[in-house]
Structure 1
Amino acid sequence: MSGYNLQVFDGKTDFSIWQQKMKGILIQQKIFKAVSAKYPENISEEKILENDEFAYSSIILNLSDSVIRKVGKQKSAKELWEKLEELYTETSLPTKLFLLEKFFKYKLDLSKNIDDNIDEFTKLIQDIKLTGDESIDEYSPIVLLNAIPDIYSDVKSAIKYDRDSVNLETIITGLKRIEIDLKTSIPSQNHNEINFVRGRGKYRDNRNNHDKRSKNKSRSRSESSDMDEKRNDKRCYNCDKKGHYIKNCKAKKSGFVLDRSLCAIGFLSGFVHVWLIEPLWRS
């Protein structure tokens, strides 16, 4: 047995992850051929039987009692492996459609960090692949790009329209850089700036209710005026004209870079331009 301690599969944890780790152990022990049944022509029957016994024992010892009761009748490592796949891999059409719908509607959860979001996203991709769809990787970059919240619409537009192609690693790297900069910079910002960055711009104060209502009314009028002004002041990255964004621009693509237009996303503008947009333009 390998020195690696694999968590026993109990039928409730992620089977695909357990299976990959179990495969790694069998390969390390040089007995995965017992599962794949891909032996060289000159191997003896005795060696095949020996490999099968070792592989079978390695797999069965990493299963919980409840799972063993469901698969214990299998006689070989290959049969045991295939039975586990049959029981714990969803390949039905309804399951595939459910996963695809969840995939294409995926949105980043701002209450979680980037790593947790990406872990959830990649697990979804892995589950779809287990249904037999290996082409899902082609759509992953644009789906993750569209998963970025609408408050960063200018960032998405810049990535979409100022680059011939976008890969998953580029988007993930950019998101992580923004997250790191936010963690180091938010403590120095005031209360209202932090709320704006987090997408929670509701007014908060510890004053009495009367003052709070009065303050909210005044702020509401101010915000309404600001919103009207912003709508009239929107500017295109491509032609540098007001009144529309780059995705609606009918002018010939110029590659013009307008740093100040990124201010539409507020406090994040500097980080987005330096860490996410500029590397994309330069590549």
Structure 2
Amino acid sequence: MKLEIEMFDGNVDFRIWRRKIKGMLASQKLLRVLEDPISWPEGTTKDQKEEMLESAIGIMLFHLSDSIIRMLSSSKSLEQNLDEFLRMNIELANSGEGEALSDENQTIIILNSLPESFKEVKSAIKYGCTSITLEEVISALKSKDLEFK
């Protein structure tokens, strides 16, 4: 069965698009990754969890237009980009069904959106920690940004 979902570009109804994405994730047994990442089936390894999360995020990213994905614009400061990202997440939470991204998902999206100049920080955060909060990631990025300046 082939599922086709239109690209979200800001012009389509977000609530309907989100339901379609949830349906696609559910059909691939990935919806739990975003809705209840704590209750994994017994025996699920850390690598399997990461792979499932990456797959779920990949599906969502493939259904977003380039203008929506481009959250960390090189023409804006890190601070401006982070503020815009956090504002978008608040808007998502207030869009009707209160579905903000979890801290973990926000962290993954931010890390994957970083420019090449943050490669070292990204690797240190991604591979040097077993768990990290969104606040810790933002703090580390701001520290690195100050080094660049």
Q: Which category of TM-score, normalised to the shorter sequence, fits these structures? A: 0.3 to 0.5
Task: Tell me the TM-score normalised to structure 1 length.
Answer: 0.27
If you compute each CA radius of gyration, which structure gives the higher value, 1 or 2?
A: 1
